[in-house]
A and B are shown apart, each in its own frame.
Chain A
Amino acid sequence: MRDLFGVVMLFGIYSLLTAALFMDLDAVDVAFTEAAVGAGVSTILLLSSLRLVGRHEKPHKHNPLLPLIVVGLTGAALIYGVSDAPLVGDPNAPAHQHVAPRYLNEGPQETGIPNVVTAVLASYRGYDTLGETVVVFTAGLAVLLLLGVTGTARQRDFGSDDDRKVQRQVVKTLIPYIMLFALYVQFHGDFGAGGGFQAGVIFAVGFVLYDLVFGHAHSRKVLPAQHLIRFGALGVLIYGGVGLYSLLVGKNFLDYTALAQDPVHGQHIGILLVELGVGLAVFSVITLIYSTFANRKVAQ
């Protein structure tokens, strides 16, 4: 396929189908994330970079034989390698033996929240998640360093206001609900599918939609780029701050029992704060990355 627009669109559909597959495999939180990130944000990012690098691929003459042999051999080796792997759905598979039963049996009592995925994410494996939040933030910084924040908003030709009347009305009606839904996902993540990662992405999608339809000059007025980077840093700070606070009162790093007298109540507050930090960091980084790509001038 020479037209990269088609490639990107197919990739978005692939992501959406993957999300449906995750749903079928009981991974509701993951399906949620994949649908919002894979089918939403990454498609938008790929499209906005196609604007910068051109959407048509040049034809090239390459002998596909060597890559085909390498890929075929690797695939055959992998197929051979999984031939004695545990069967799908086997409840006695090694993956289900170690810590997973503990999370499932003790998690709801120890943390007081029913969604075990959120409990593991924000409490049991809080170190991992802190690391990942820092990675997301660092990636945002890397994109800024590569492409820079342009001071002046690029003027896009939107035609007259009448051209987009229907789009603008529809988006205007939708955005409050998107934002409300993002907040619901953020704060209901303890009880159902959702959490900081998904909420951050959905919130960012709301802003991206606004930017796409109303133009960058408008969205800059709502939320300038220099604030976004501060929000991102604030998100990481909230997360790290919870850890440091528990250190200061004499507990271990990220030990949420330091936050309240009652350990379960402490877990509640800790998970809420940490998810808030994650949501804020993810939202600002995704929005920032989008606006960086959208603002970059096309090279002449």
Chain B
Amino acid sequence: MSLTSGLFNYWGAIILMMAGFWVVVAQNNLVKKLVGLGLFQASVFIFYISIGKVADGAPPIHDPAVALYSNPLPHVLILTAIVVGVATTAVGLGLIVRIHEAYRTVEEDEIHALDVEDDEDGEGSGRT
């Protein structure tokens, strides 16, 4: 395996990660940002799992006929991370729903404009 082709897993993960990063920083809609965060998160999962792969290895379930397995450790870390990831995404969605109820919008610039408006009113009461 030549040097360039052996690193493609990292490049793929980085490209996906940057795509997610771009969505998070450049998009205006909060739901889109959260999807971008999910994209970013999944790229980290791909990165870990590709590290755990051993060429010609088998899935790490013990079998007397198999001698070479892939590394089970990244699998364990990512398996739990996926479930924790969906739980934290749900918390993020909960926050977005509450933001929508308070501001009537989930567009970042509109929320910002409403905040500035509030500050200029000098009430300091904020939104409920």
Q: Which residues of A contact B (CB under 8 A)?
A: 4, 7-8, 11, 14-15, 18, 21-22, 25-30, 33-34, 37-38, 41-42, 45-46, 49-50, 52-54, 57-58, 60, 62, 64, 67-68, 70-72, 74-75, 78-79, 82-83, 85-91, 93, 95-96, 99-100, 103-104, 107-108, 114-117, 120-121, 125, 128-129, 132, 135-136, 139-140, 142-143, 146-147, 191-193, 195, 197, 200-201, 282, 285-286, 289, 292-293, 296, 299
Q: Which of B30, B52, B88 contacts A25 (CB 8 A)?
A: B52
Cross-chain contact B84 with A96 (CB below 8 angstroms): no
Contacts of A95 in B (CB 8 A): 51-52, 71, 73-74
Q: Is the CB of B6 within 8 A of A87?
A: yes
Q: In the assembled complex, how far is the CB of residue A287 from the closest CB belonging to chain B, in whole angstroms?
A: 12
- Bin chain B's interface residue count: 35 or more
Q: A71-B18, A71-B21 are in contact. Are A88 and B83 (CB under 8 A)?
A: no
**Inter-subunit contact A282/B93 (CB<8 Å):** no
B5 to chain A, nearest CB (A): 8
Cβ of A298 to closest chain B Cβ, rounded Å: 10
- A114 partner, pick from B14, B49, B51, B62, beta carbons under 8 A: B62
> Once the chains bind, are A285 and B87 in contact (CB under 8 Å)?
yes
Q: Are B59 and A11 in contact (CB under 8 A)?
A: no
CB distance from B37 to the nearest CB of A (A): 11
A residues less than 8 Å from B10 (CB atoms): 79, 82, 85
A91 with B68, Cβ < 8 A, contacts A4-B32, A139-B90 known: yes
**Binary flags per residue of B100-111, CB closer than 8 Å to A gives 1, else 0:** 110011110110
